[in-house]
Amino acid sequence: MHTFYGTGTALITPFKKDHSVDYDAFKNLIEFNISSGVDYIVVNGTTAESATTSKEEKAKLLEVALDVNNGRVPVMYGIGGNDTAEVIQRIGSADFKGVDALLSVCPYYNKPSQEGVFQHYKAIAEKCPVPVLAYNVPGRTGINISAKTSIRLSEVKNIFGIKEASGDLVQALEIIKNTPNEFLVISGDDLLAVPTISLGAVGAISVLSNTYPAKFSEMIKAAIQSRFQQATQILARFTEMNPLMYEEGNPVGVKSLLELMGICSSEVRLPLVKASGELIHKIEQAHVKITREYANH
């Protein structure tokens, strides 16, 4: 399999004014990211509004992504849920030709035990035709995949790593310290990516890299190569912008920034709504600062 080192962009799904998928804008976004140096792309993750896209739209988005990519970078595809049997059914009906890995979020809402989480991923891994990356994001799911469970998952055939978005660096270190080198820990938090890499993580799956793919990739590459002073200098430029991406929900913020940059509209589907005027103003100000700092370096 491809090794998912470096920067992976968690691609948004662009919508037109009528809220239909804007596949042309999606193509442009993918090309912008790949040509700017991201190491892989993630289709149908949380940032893609996967909760409100149809099965047909998901399949079409993957088809378009594979076509535009044309084998240039690895492709990760998201299928997750809180019904194990249904997730396995969706995996079975998906076309994985050209897909390098599956990203699957921890079951949410029904709050399983750690044993339930383990059995869920084990069942998925046994049925999935490509390697599986577990995804821990307790802020969304209501449940944390503990370090102990992640360590157990590292022993399951066909599970190659975990996207860690718990915000807990001690937990990340515990996983890294107690799993084989081939079990990858990938940061799911843009601002914690550099410190997590310093502990032994191999990169990040990023929201911000939708908009700043070249600079974000440069930051991650510097961190992987232990050039932490340079990585931290780049990271400092994102500290004002990053929280704005989540202030009114993800991908509301990043879509507003993409619209500001002329890449796609900021349309989202209910229950998400477009950014408030106040948030848009703050994003504009932060973007001006980042652009100015780019120009000066």
Name which of 58, 21, 77 is nearest 205 in CA terms.
77
Catalytic residue among 135, 215, 255, 282: 135
Tell me if residue 16 is catalytic: no
DSSP label of 50: G
Do residues 290 and 238 touch, judged by C-beta distance below 8 A? yes
| Residues ≥6 apart with Cβ < 8 Å to 48 | 10, 11, 12, 13, 42, 61, 78, 251
- Residue 119 belongs to what H/E stretch? helix 114-127
Do residues 77 and 48 touch, judged by C-beta distance below 8 A? no
Binding residues for pyruvate, by number, are: 47, 205
The encoded tokens of residue 229 equal 């002073």
Tell me if residue 294 is catalytic: no
Catalytic residue among 122, 163, 221, 282: 163
The string of DSSP codes covering 217-254 is HHHHHHHHTT-HHHHHHHHHHTTTHHHHTTTT-TTHHH
Find the distance separating the first CA and the last CA of the chain, reported in whole Å.
Answer: 37
CA 139 to chain centre: 14
| Residues ≥6 apart with Cβ < 8 Å to 147 | 171, 174, 175, 178
- 3-class SS of residue 203: strand
How many CB atoms sit inside 10 A of residue 270's CB? Answer: 7
The encoded tokens of residue 105 equal 């979020």
Binding residues, by number, are: 47, 205
Q: What's the per-residue H, E or C state across 160-205? A: EEEEECCCCHHHHHHHHHCCCCCCEEEECCHHHHHHHHHHCCCEEE
Give catalytic residues, as residue numbers: 135, 163
